[in-house]
Amino acid sequence: MKTILNLLKDKPRLYRIVAESDTPAGKTFDITVMVAIALSLIAAFIETRPTTNELLKDILTVMEYVLTVFFTIEYILRIYCYPRPKEYALSFFGIVDLLATLPLYLSLIPMLSSVRYLYIIRAFRLLRIFRVLKLFNYINEGYLLMESIRLSLRKILVYFLFVVILVVIIGTLMFIIEGNQPGSDFTDIGTSIYWAIVTLTTVGYGDITPVTAIGRFFSGVVMVLGYTIIAVPTGIVSATMIDETNRKVKGDNCPRCGKKVDKKDRYCRNCGEKL
Amino acid sequence: MKTILNLLKDKPRLYRIVAESDTPAGKTFDITVMVAIALSLIAAFIETRPTTNELLKDILTVMEYVLTVFFTIEYILRIYCYPRPKEYALSFFGIVDLLATLPLYLSLIPMLSSVRYLYIIRAFRLLRIFRVLKLFNYINEGYLLMESIRLSLRKILVYFLFVVILVVIIGTLMFIIEGNQPGSDFTDIGTSIYWAIVTLTTVGYGDITPVTAIGRFFSGVVMVLGYTIIAVPTGIVSATMIDETNRKVKGDNCPRCGKKVDKKDRYCRNCGEKL
Amino acid sequence: MKTILNLLKDKPRLYRIVAESDTPAGKTFDITVMVAIALSLIAAFIETRPTTNELLKDILTVMEYVLTVFFTIEYILRIYCYPRPKEYALSFFGIVDLLATLPLYLSLIPMLSSVRYLYIIRAFRLLRIFRVLKLFNYINEGYLLMESIRLSLRKILVYFLFVVILVVIIGTLMFIIEGNQPGSDFTDIGTSIYWAIVTLTTVGYGDITPVTAIGRFFSGVVMVLGYTIIAVPTGIVSATMIDETNRKVKGDNCPRCGKKVDKKDRYCRNCGEKL
Amino acid sequence: MKTILNLLKDKPRLYRIVAESDTPAGKTFDITVMVAIALSLIAAFIETRPTTNELLKDILTVMEYVLTVFFTIEYILRIYCYPRPKEYALSFFGIVDLLATLPLYLSLIPMLSSVRYLYIIRAFRLLRIFRVLKLFNYINEGYLLMESIRLSLRKILVYFLFVVILVVIIGTLMFIIEGNQPGSDFTDIGTSIYWAIVTLTTVGYGDITPVTAIGRFFSGVVMVLGYTIIAVPTGIVSATMIDETNRKVKGDNCPRCGKKVDKKDRYCRNCGEKL
């Protein structure tokens, strides 16, 4: 008890345990957290299975509450010992750490009982495993991946709005073609748009399928044309990725004058363009 | 009333309101239109749901007519105040604006009642949101995307004809293999071709599936071989996109002599080739 | 009759009509053939529909025989008037022209009646439309596509053997996991391999699906891992296509010494490597 | 008998027969092995079919045992005559050769009878066909493919962990949305995650599908967003492949200073970086 109180007074030491994994205590703490996360995920899997008996369900529920209290204490400790708690609280992992505890408390409010399993969002915390295992190369690859996606984001957003409009149009056309058939799956425009998304993304559940000749012909056209449309995001991501890889190896070109610039340069030596 | 009449006389001011969104009035007008479009789309969703009661349906139908009249007035105003109305009428958005109003009027003709929901084509007008929000970067990305698709178009058209012929052949082969089986899904060549499209594009509804060993073997070959064939449009779009990105950054090479040319050059400095 | 006899004697003129489409007669001939092909395809679609009445079926059957006789005469004419008939007979279109007529004759042999609709292979002849319409740019794009596929072929073949072995292994594992379950879809190894192909290519019919927890877990692993494996042919085709496009614009590099070589060069100027 | 004994004494000659295929005896041996593998695969296919009669099953079972004994002798011979038997035993093909024989022996243990068909892993041995047919170009292409995958592996692993976490979150959200509906397919979190994998990878069996409006809306969002996420491995593999191809043709750039380096260089001439 006294050790814990002493530890609470020694913020830097607490920080080394909670936030870093260089010391044995820090490593032990990190691994304990990882195991707790894994346990809570497995508990959720087993608990929701209809074949699980009531006793086991009760044990697992208790475990969930214990683990959530543990994560809550961990979250409070982080806020307490971090040098800039506000920055942490608003970072990706800060938000995940909070969302990993809140849902279970919220589920105590009768109307919100179904949000309970949202605590599974704590799975995102498993991404910290690369830091714990000191796999910094993997972290870099992760950042490169995110960078590629971030750079493609604007293109992809424009593309998404286009796809949304397209599935609305295709869904409506299909509703006009097949909707008035007896026994048709295309009961309303919403369902038809759902079908259009399922078809254009090549998921193809088959829960809603055309039955008339004209409906099948139109579906075929949508699939073949759609395949090209859906090829676009792959093209976007590929192009960005190749660009990024080239930039990493060969350095960059100035976007204004086209002259080669160093990776560390902040302004083009030739034309002064900000990089 | 008098304000409206005055406004109708002042064409340039009307143009600034209807076509631009720099003035407060123009911005208000644009946002009103966007909201009206969103409302009419939601109305169509709700109205076609089988669970919607008759009263709500009637209200939504009235709303549709009101909104369509509003869009019709807007279209007439645009034709009236645009400096070059003909050019507008034939542009992409001019045609969409017209198609956004016509179907409801056409649906009054008894035989064409089913075309009614085609007015949903007005969803395309939502693409104007980028201009309203002054997200010109997004518009540029959109043009780049369209440019990439346009440049790939010829390749893709050749590819499409090839795919169409291929699915006709594959569908017929499958009809020969499975068509004479009792209880077979492959009842005619049209259905078999529909199956071939569903399979080659990897949509895979599962409404028509082979049941004989030879039919399954042939399907497997089609899938594995088909995967390569269907990889081609992705390759085409990727290649064009990478090319376009390179051109934007590094400038271009003359297609005849291969020498570097500036982006602004209209003729190659070395060999005079038109660019 | 005499005109025809005269024409048969004048081989070069006959060649201009049958093989080229520069003269009005040649153009008329080509368009007649195209229309005949389209008609025969449509006839096959309609004839096999179960809802088609017997009279129409009989008319279409007669039409098929008439068209096939027409294509046979055309084939004989081509063999007769081409300067190098053997080369033609062994070319892609020569073989297609022959296969477009043979199946109907073969179907007269009682045992082979089901091969009848194989004459649909004549659909490939529609590829000639680009030549008839003088869309030579499209023909070039077609050759570029074929070249890209041809250059990727060796990589793709190695990849295919690998995929075949993989689906055999995955299918067997799934048969071991799910095969002995009551009511399982995985009745034998062949069916399991068919499932593995359907899953790995992301077609996903859903006619055969895992029902046990372990089977679903294994399926999930196959899908996620498989997505990367199946991404490979897209990567191969993309890489080849980008390579080809670069080569067309920038010229090539010598594969031995890496120095730039002209497109027309047959030997590297620097090291003498044959290109 | 004596010939065999002599052969067993002459290790180098035995090696030439068993491991190489330059001599007629070696080629005969290799082809015999290939045929035996093909036979055993076909036997497994036929044996597990429910329609196969008992007598044929018994014959095939005997054949399996005979072939497995043959492969066991072959494995022992390889261990016996290879100059470095340990290296062979731990190589990819060494392990495959062992796994090709073990399962049948293991299946004699009552509890492990279901592992029997695992011997199908011997299918991997068919990859040796390229060496037997001396298709070394194909082997090189295979290594290039493996190299591309190996180089992408770290990126793909990071990506996989991300996908695993994502499907856990998506599956749980869907369980919260659809799980408490009467007659819902989403009975537990495990099933929901299985659905999320089937959907995100665009396999789309359709055995589990959303039925509520909100569930379908969420599925649509997952599909459209997911398509971009799933485009990433294709982008990774494409980028690596293009990089590899460039490196093969143009030589490489030093990762530190960016100067060009020869393929054979082990250190950068300019900055001394190890390559």
Which of D41, D45, D249 lies at the smallest CB-CB distance from C253? D249
Q: How far is B124 from chain A (nearest CA, A)?
A: 6
Which of B204, B234, B238 lies at the smallest CB-CB distance from D204? B204
CA dist., res. B71 & res. B98, Å (int): 9
Which residues in chain C touch residue D50, judged by CB atoms under 8 angstroms apart?
187-188
Nearest CA in chain A to C51: A213
Residue from A145, A238, A245 whose CB has the most chain C CBs within 10 Å, to mutate: A238
The dihedral region occupied by B116, where left means phi > 0, alpha psi between -120 and 50, and beta the remainder, is alpha
pLDDT beyond 80 at D115? no
CB-based contact B197 A161, cutoff 8 Å: no
Query: Are C117 and B179 contacting, i.e. CB atoms less than 8 angstroms apart?
Result: no
What pLDDT is attached to residue B112? 75
Q: What is the DSSP string of A206-264?
A: -SS---SHHHHHHHHHHHHHHHHHHHHHHHHHHHHHHHHHHHHHH-EE-TTT--EE-SS
CB-based contact A169 B117, cutoff 8 Å: no
pLDDT band at B195 (very low <50, low <70, confident <90, very high): very high
Which of B206, B234, B238 lies at the smallest CB-CB distance from D206? B206
What pLDDT is attached to residue B225? 80
Which residues in chain A touch residue C202, judged by CB atoms under 8 angstroms apart?
202
H or E element, residue B143 = helix B136-178
SS3 call for B205: coil
H or E element, residue C253 = strand C252-253
Residue from A45, A143, A228, A253 whose CB has the most chain D CBs within 10 Å, to mutate: A45
Residue from C48, C145, C238, C240 whose CB has the most chain A CBs within 10 Å, to mutate: C238
Using one digit for the tens of pLDDT, what is the confidence trace for B26-72? 888 888 988 999 898 888 888 888 888 889 988 998 998 999 999 99
pLDDT band at A248 (very low <50, low <70, confident <90, very high): low
pLDDT band at A184 (very low <50, low <70, confident <90, very high): confident
pLDDT beyond 80 at D133? no
User: Which has the closest alpha carbon to B234: B162, B144, B146, B156?
Assistant: B156
Mean predicted lDDT score pLDDT of chain C: 82
Which of C202, C205, C238 lies at the smallest CB-CB distance from A202? C202
Length of chain A equals 275
> Which of A47-51, A137-141, A150-154, C135-139 holds the top average pLDDT?
A47-51
Query: Are A18 and A32 contacting, i.e. CB atoms less than 8 angstroms apart?
Result: no
Residue C223 has which token pair?
């899908």
Which residues in chain B touch residue A220, judged by CB atoms under 8 angstroms apart?
167, 193-194, 197-198
pLDDT beyond 80 at A256? no
Other Cβ atoms less than 10 A from the Cβ of D135: the count is 16
CB-based contact B205 D206, cutoff 8 Å: yes
Using one digit for the tens of pLDDT, what is the confidence trace for C18-43? 888 788 888 888 889 889 998 988 88
What pLDDT is attached to residue C196? 95
The dihedral region occupied by B259, where left means phi > 0, alpha psi between -120 and 50, and beta the remainder, is beta
Residue B241 has which token pair?
């996109």
pLDDT band at B262 (very low <50, low <70, confident <90, very high): low
Using one digit for the tens of pLDDT, what is the confidence trace for C69-93? 999 999 999 999 888 889 988 988 8
- How many contiguous H segments (helices) and E segments (strands) does chain B have? 11, 2
For the residues D93-108, what does the mean pLDDT come to?
87
Whether the full predicted model's pTM is greater than 0.90, yes or no, is: no
Nearest CA in chain A to D167: A123
CA dist., res. D56 & res. C54, Å (int): 46
CB-based contact D44 C176, cutoff 8 Å: no
CA dist., res. B137 & res. C33, Å (int): 51
Only one residue has tokens 């594995």, namely B224
Q: How far is D209 from chain A (nearest CA, A)?
A: 7
Least-confidence region, from B101-105, C246-250, D165-169: C246-250
What pLDDT is attached to residue C254? 59
- Beta pairing, strands C252-253 & C260-261: antiparallel
- Residue B256 carries which side chain, given as an amino acid letter? R
Only one residue has tokens 């169409």, namely B164
What pLDDT is attached to residue C215? 93
Other Cβ atoms less than 10 A from the Cβ of C199: the count is 27
Chain B with chain C: Cβ pairs closer than 8 A:
144
User: Which has the closest alpha carbon to A168: D117, B273, B48?
Assistant: B48
Residues 6+ apart with CB under 8 A from A23: A16, A17
For the residues B68-95, what does the mean pLDDT come to?
90
pLDDT beyond 70 at B266? no
What pLDDT is attached to residue A227? 78
Q: What is the DSSP string of D207-258?
A: SS---SHHHHHHHHHHHHHHHHHHHHHHHHHHHHHHHHHHHHHH-EE-TTT-
User: Which has the closest alpha carbon to A231: B162, C252, C231?
Assistant: C231
User: Which has the closest alpha carbon to C11: C67, C93, C85?
Assistant: C85
Which of B154, B180, B219 lies at the smallest CB-CB distance from C137? B154
Which residues in chain C touch residue A204, judged by CB atoms under 8 angstroms apart?
203-204
Tell me whether residue C13 is exposed, middle or buried, using C-beta atoms within 10 angstroms of its C-beta: 0 to 12, 13 to 18, 19 or more: middle
Which of D202, D205, D234 lies at the smallest CB-CB distance from B202? D202
Q: How far is D204 from chain B (nearest CA, A)?
A: 8
Which residues in chain A touch residue C238, judged by CB atoms under 8 angstroms apart?
238
| Chain C contacts to A (CB-CB under 8 A) | 202-206, 234, 238
For the residues D241-252, what does the mean pLDDT come to?
66
Tell me whether residue D214 is exposed, middle or buried, using C-beta atoms within 10 angstroms of its C-beta: 0 to 12, 13 to 18, 19 or more: exposed
Chain B with chain D: Cβ pairs closer than 8 A:
9
> Which of A242-256, C46-60, D150-164 holds the top average pLDDT?
C46-60
CA dist., res. C5 & res. C11, Å (int): 11
Q: How far is B136 from chain C (nearest CA, A)?
A: 30
Residues 6+ apart with CB under 8 A from B13: B7
Which of C169, C206, C236 lies at the smallest CB-CB distance from D207? C206
Which of A158, A189, A236 lies at the smallest CB-CB distance from B45? A189
Which residues in chain B touch residue D203, judged by CB atoms under 8 angstroms apart?
204
CB-based contact D235 A230, cutoff 8 Å: no
Which residues in chain C touch residue D191, judged by CB atoms under 8 angstroms apart?
216
Which residues in chain A touch residue B49, judged by CB atoms under 8 angstroms apart?
187-188, 190
- Beta pairing, strands B252-253 & A260-261: unpaired
CB-based contact A239 B245, cutoff 8 Å: yes
Only one residue has tokens 């869309």, namely C135
What pLDDT is attached to residue C106? 86
| Structure ipTM | 0.82
CA dist., res. A273 & res. A252, Å (int): 13
pLDDT beyond 80 at D231? no
Q: How far is A41 from chain C (nearest CA, A)?
A: 15
Which of A179, A188, A206 lies at the smallest CB-CB distance from B207? A206
Which residues in chain B touch residue A205, judged by CB atoms under 8 angstroms apart?
205
CB-based contact A190 B48, cutoff 8 Å: yes
Which residues in chain A touch residue D179, judged by CB atoms under 8 angstroms apart?
48
Using one digit for the tens of pLDDT, what is the confidence trace for C145-203? 777 777 777 777 888 888 888 899 999 999 988 887 887 889 889 999 999 999 999 89
Which of D204, D206, D238 lies at the smallest CB-CB distance from B238? D238
pLDDT beyond 80 at B254? no
Only one residue has tokens 């927890």, namely C213
CA dist., res. D148 & res. D154, Å (int): 11
Residue from C148, C153, C155 whose CB has the most chain D CBs within 10 Å, to mutate: C155
Nearest CA in chain B to D206: B205
- Residue D65 carries which side chain, given as an amino acid letter? Y
B223-to-A143, A165, B197, C224 alpha-carbon distances in Å: 35, 30, 11, 18
What pLDDT is attached to residue D69? 92
Least-confidence region, from B110-124, C98-112, D38-52: B110-124
